[in-house]
Amino acid sequence: MKAVIQRVSQASVTINEKIVASINSGLLVLLGVVDDDAQEDITWLSNKIVNMRIFPDEEGVMNNSIIDNQGDVILVSQFTLHANTKKGNRPSYIKAAKPDVAIPLYQDFIKRIESDLGKPIQTGEFGADMHVALINDGPVTIIIDTKNKD
């Protein structure tokens, strides 16, 4: 699994001109799934996201997690995170999991992060044409790949 985590002061997801998710302070997480992702990837990544200390404490130092700040999360599926751009100018998405594999893992990830966070999150819609808007706070953007835990 690959995730792009963005600390936001505001974010929303719109599908067919209807806002389906909207938060203020929190995280916008873009998630890409590959065929060999498993429950251990879900567990590790969710734990990493909810405990990552990327929010300022009372002294302005990034010492607080999303749990500490009681912030919200929007999770958006994004197969293009696994684009291969090695050859030519047209990215290949062959590494991205097909929906029959990706959807169950995406749904399991939602359940896991809600459990780890201790509250429901908001999401986009798997496979939909979404418009994602955000105000990146900081800016803080972190990329995590469960296949490279260095």
Distance in angstroms (rounded) separating the CA atoms of residues 54 and 42 = 20
**Active-site residue flag, 78:** yes
**Active-site residue flag, 126:** no
Single-letter amino acid code for the residue at 119: K
Q: Which of 6, 55, 79, 146 is catalytic?
A: 79
Q: Which two tokens stand for residue 33?
A: 């799934």
140: left (phi over 0), alpha (psi -120 to 50) or beta: beta
**Active-site residue flag, 43:** no
Q: Which of 78, 122, 123, 146 is catalytic?
A: 78
Neighbours of 77 (CB within 10 A): 24
Q: Which of 39, 70, 80, 107 is catalytic?
A: 80
Distance in angstroms (rounded) separating the CA atoms of residues 96 and 83 = 8
List residues with catalytic annotation: 78-80
